[in-house]
Amino acid sequence: MDHKNIILGAGLAGLSAGYHLNDSYAIYEKQPEIGGLCRSEEVDSFIFDYAPHILYTVDPYASELIHKLLSGNLKIKKREAFIYHGKYDLYTQFPFQAHLYGLPASVIMDCLKGVVEVLRTRDKPTPKHYEEWIYQRFGKGIAEHLMIPYSEKIWTISTRRMNYDWIDRRIPEPDFNTILEGALTDATALTGFNNDFWYPVHGGIESLPTSLGKGVKNIHLDMKASKIFPKENEVEFNRKTRVKYDRLISTLPLPVVVDLIDDVPADVKKAAGDLEHNSIICVNIGVDRPDISPHHWLYFHEKDFIFHRISFPMNCSEKTAPPGTSSVCCEIAYSKYRPLEVKGKKNIIQKTIDDLTRAGILKKEDKILVSDILSLKYAYVIYDLNHRKNVNTIHDYLRGVGIYPCGRFGEWEYFNMDHSIMSGKRAADKINEENLTALKK
Ligand SMILES: Cc1cc2nc3c(=O)[nH]c(=O)nc-3n(C[C@H](O)[C@H](O)[C@H](O)COP(=O)(O)OP(=O)(O)OC[C@H]3O[C@@H](n4cnc5c(N)ncnc54)[C@H](O)[C@@H]3O)c2cc1C
């Protein structure tokens, strides 16, 4: 049962670590199936992902690997993403800042005045938090009409409590001409880096880990790590079986790993306790009417809609819904800072259906064929102001006791699927390199 390398978690990062290791390994996963967040669920012939998952990457290695794994099963899609403004009962194209056209003139004026003010201001100080970053980049109008309300809805905390380390290219920053053109005309040019994305034709997003898993051996399912003994180089599973390792790769959320180890220094324990994340529930609905929307996804920034984003799996692949029907996944974010306002599965589903009807997505006469809820406890890492410091403290400790953290929650970063795959590869590469160096000595 003992292995040179043990990998905890069979999500994309754990599978990728196994796929790229040159050494013997075994993967242990607490669930009865592989895939982690990148799984799909079939309900009465409707396929829903664990939250909408679209594929795009700028990393050439990840791109090649994904294409190899999903060869013959990938479709390229041109993004159809919009924002719904319930107050005016209208849609604008995503991203808001590049497509103000259609909004009331007073809103467009607010936004443009803010942008001009930003352009006029020289010598901007380094922003103290995400909110200041938004004001500095886009001005008051864009900040207050959309960015701050939407951010607080998804992140569940004030934008003043967040940093902006995570932004990279996630928030498009169009130049002034693009903003002006998008305000004065119904410009259709897409802005942002996921203008085109890929999605599997068959099997939902789970077909990616399924294919990756075929190149990986020694996966043990229903094996939950219940204790780690770094001094003994042992992991205990399901509170009974102990397994020895030379090296331990963990894709588990950092607070979970720290909790599995006894005698963790107080500062590390505190850092783990201070890490912030949100949780998401997906209310998945199947309807007896085709084409309820032409879009891939829609954003809802207004507080009186229970969800912050809804997406239409059937528009990513028609194979995810039976002929003549439609499907919609509605994401609702919550955390200890903003608990769910509606309690109980039945009430949450009903409120979701009511809000979809209010937004004109569903009609009163529609027959709901399926309604289900999927819960993601660890959904997005929240970049609070101490994020980097806390993560460094925990990583220094884990590496010091011979644990290699990787993946979205092992690195504790805003990782997409490609990043998680590459993070697993980095952990494997490091071990491969260390082995090579040891051989040369
Ligand atoms: C709402 C949402 C939308 C997303 N949309 C996209 C998107 O559109 N495009 C994109 O590229 N990415 C998207 N992502 C990100 C993507 O899902 C992740 O980057 C990726 O799936 C993370 O893989 P991972 O292996 O790092 O983590 P995980 O998938 O979380 O894997 C960790 C594994 O560890 C297992 N585990 C936990 N505890 C234990 C234990 N004690 N013992 C053993 N096993 C354990 C878990 O069951 C899990 O299988 C989205 C994520 C979310 C939350």
pLDDT (average), residues 231-259: 97
Q: What's the CA-to-centroid distance between 45 and ligand 1, angstroms?
A: 24
- Give all strands of the β-sheet with 326-334 in edge-to-edge order: 90-93, 81-85, 297-300, 309-311, 326-334, 279-287, 368-376
According to DSSP, the β-strands at 279-287 and 368-376 are antiparallel
Per-residue pLDDT band for 85 (boundaries 50, 70, 90) equals: very high
Tokens for 111, please give them: 């936004």
- For residue 2, is pLDDT > 70? no
pLDDT of residue 290: 97
Q: What is the pLDDT of residues 116-141, one digit of tens each?
A: 999 999 889 999 999 999 999 999 99
Residue with CA at minimum distance from ligand 1 atom 10: 416
**Can you point out the beta strands (E) in 335-406?**
368-376, 381-382, 403-405
pLDDT at position 441 is 80
Cα-based distances in Å from 84 to 56, 62, 221, 365, 375: 24, 33, 42, 22, 24
Q: How does strand 74-78 pair with strand 225-229? A: unpaired
Pairing status of strand 241-250 against strand 3-8: parallel
Q: What is the pLDDT of residue 168?
A: 81
pLDDT at 1 over 70: no
- Which tokens is 226 given? 């219940």
Give percent of the chain with pLDDT exceeding 70: 98
Please determine, for residue 5, whether its predicted confidence score (pLDDT) is greater than 90. yes
Q: What is the average pLDDT value for the chain, to the nearest integer? A: 96
Is 48:40 a contact under the CB 8 Å cutoff?
A: yes
Ligand 1 atom showing the smallest separation from residue 226 Cα: 41
**DSSP-derived pairing of the beta strands 326-334 and 219-220:** unpaired
Q: What are the chain's domains?
A: 3-36+206-275+384-440 (3.50.50.60), 40-79+194-205+279-379 (3.90.660.20), 81-193 (1.10.3110)
**219-220 and 25-28 beta bridge pairing:** parallel
> 433 exposed, middle or buried (CB, 10 Å; 0-12, 13-18, 19+)?
exposed
Q: Which ligand 1 atom is the nearest neighbour of the CA of 410?
A: 26
Q: What number does the ligand 1 atom closest to the CA of 38 have? A: 21
Output the pTM of the full model: 0.96
CA 241, chain centre distance (Å): 33
Q: How far is the CA of 27 from the centre of ligand 1 (A)?
A: 15
As to burial, measured by CB atoms within 10 angstroms (0-12 exposed, 13-18 middle, 19+ buried), residue 97 is buried
User: What's residue 195's pLDDT?
Assistant: 84
For residue 132, how far is its CA from the centre of ligand 1 (angstroms)?
30
Q: Residue 95: is the preceding peptide bond cis (ω within 30°)?
A: yes
Residue 95 has pLDDT above 80, yes or no: yes
pLDDT digits (tens, 9 = 90+) for 296-331: 999 999 999 999 999 999 999 999 999 999 999 999
What pLDDT does 26 receive? 97
**CB-CB contact of 227 with 260 (8 Å):** yes
Element (H, E) at 429: helix 417-440
d(CA 293, CA 314): 10
Given a contact cutoff of 8 angstroms between Cβ atoms, the answer to whether 19 and 215 are in contact is: yes
Of all protein residues, whose CA lies closest to atom 6 belonging to ligand 1?
53
Look at residue 209 in the predicted model and tell me its pLDDT: 98
**Dist. CA 35 → ligand 1 center (Å):** 8
Q: What pLDDT does residue 217 have?
A: 92
User: Quick one: tokens of 227?
Assistant: 């204790």
User: What residues are in contact with ligand 1 under a 6 Å CB criterion?
Assistant: 8-14, 28-31, 36-38, 51-54, 224-225, 251-252, 256, 280, 376, 379-380, 407-409, 415-418, 420
CB atoms within 10 A of CB 169: 10
Give the distance (Å) from ligand 1 centre to CA of residue 307: 21
Using only C-alpha atoms, the chain has a radius of gyration, in whole angstroms, of 23
Predicted confidence at residue 78, as pLDDT, reads 93
Residue 215 half-sphere exposure toward CB, CA atoms < 13 A: 19
In this prediction, residue 190 has a pLDDT band, given cuts at 50, 70 and 90, of: low
- Indicate if the pLDDT at residue 67 is higher than 60: yes
